[in-house]
Amino acid sequence: MLTNNSEDTVSYTWTRNIVQMTEGWSCAICDINLCYLDFVSSQTFTLLPEAQGNLDVHVYPNGIPGNAIVELHVVDNDDETNHVMGLYYFDQALSAPVRLTQNIKTYPNPVVDMLNIEAGHKVSRIEIFNIEGRRMMAERINGNGNVNLSGLPSGTFIMRMYDIADVQISGNLLIKQ
């Protein structure tokens, strides 16, 4: 949701970057005016004073198993310091959800070797999958701590976290440098 809190009409430009997408899939960005398929990589739109508008990312797998990673950048055309970027991950095989809880902190991301997790005692186990869906590692933890990822190659991964009842409580995109 974008909100124009100013007293002036503001012009924004969104830019789509398809980081990775399974062949045969398609993607649409829907701003307050229209939805644009993946052959449109950037579009300008305006918000009237005090107006709000949705900006949505949609991925269409077209019956093909796979995944997609899409970056969406939005910039205020009059003030380029006013910008935001969202990274969206879609995966049919893992059914990886967006983050389910905001009370879990994982950092740094991108990570070099050690990933820090702050979650109280909510997380008991993590699993890390590559973007093809293969499990690369699994580790038991006790809510807070560090996980050594030095054995993983550089790349993009999905990290799933589970509570003590073995219920998935978070699915996050993780980038290893």
What would the mean pLDDT of 67-81 be, rounded to a whole number?
A: 88
What would the mean pLDDT of 19-48 be, rounded to a whole number?
A: 91
Q: Note the CATH architecture for domain 2-91.
A: Sandwich (2.60)
Each residue's pLDDT tens digit, 80-110: 888 887 778 887 665 544 444 446 788 888 8
Q: Answer whether 35's CB lies under 8 Å from 71's CB.
A: no
Task: State how far the alpha carbon of 18 is from the alpha carbons of 63, 120, 124, 147, in Å.
Answer: 19, 35, 33, 29
What would the mean pLDDT of 42-67 be, rounded to a whole number?
A: 89
Q: Answer whether 170's CB lies under 8 Å from 104's CB.
A: yes
CATH of 105-176, one of 2.60.40.1930, 3.90.1640.10, 1.10.10.10, 3.40.50.2000: 2.60.40.1930
User: Residue 176: pLDDT band by 50, 70, 90 thresholds?
Assistant: confident
What is the reported pLDDT for 94? 55
Q: Which of 72, 78, 87, 71 shows the shortest CA–CA distance to 4?
A: 78
